[in-house]
Amino acid sequence: MDTTLQGRTVAFLAATEGVEQVELTSPWKAVEQAGGRPRLVSTRPGRIQAFNHLDKADTFEVHDVAGEVSARHYDALVLPGGVANPDFLRLDRDAVAFVKAFFDAGKPVAAICHAPWTLVEAGVVRGRTLTSWPSLSTDIANAGGDWVDEEVKVCNHGPNTLVTSRKPDDLPAFERALVAEFARGPMIAA
């Protein structure tokens, strides 16, 4: 199986603050190591503030703004978690539309921890099986999804592939799965 992401551009969507740093930086590194080109997309230009759980961590430069770009500019999407990050994203119309556009275009998406809250808001959970931080299980069920307590879950539903994981401890399995699935997904024209 080819797991190279050479020539692929992967969007990482994060709010201006609240993203769990390791859930951003570890998959970012996995994409780079597989030859992909990660791009940080946020709700505003500038820098985002990451957190190590509840403590401020590093800041990261935003490359693109959700309301100014579309899914057609990327091959895949990663939604890092953190409790506040997806809560802020699901209140931003442009961020929600950005996420939904990946599903409409049949492009692969990966989400970890609390990130499926944004998927619920985008209306893309119905009929899918996914995992997340356990406290989201009721939200996922209410949105028509099936929640499972697994390290990583790959769901192929229609033209889309969705890779989900529960928490930072699951990052190695999450990264292996997202790189493998992103390598299989459609590629934008160079």
From the centroid of its chain, how far is CA 61? 18
Q: What is the dihedral of CA 176, 10, 34, 171, to 10 degrees?
A: -30
Q: CA 126 to CA 107: how far, in whole Å?
A: 17
- Is 155 catalytic? The answer is no
Token code pair at residue 111: 């989400």
Could you say which of 53, 73, 114, 155 is catalytic? 114
Could you say which of 63, 113, 155, 157 is catalytic? 113
For residue 65, give the nearest of 87, 86, 93, 102 by alpha carbon: 93
Alpha helices in the chain (DSSP H): 21-33, 84-89, 93-104, 116-122, 137-142, 171-184
Judge contact between 78 and 13, C-beta under 8 A: yes
Token code pair at residue 15: 């709010």
Q: CA 28 to CA 39: how far, in whole Å?
A: 9
Judge contact between 156 and 83, C-beta under 8 A: no
Residue numbers annotated as active site: 113-114
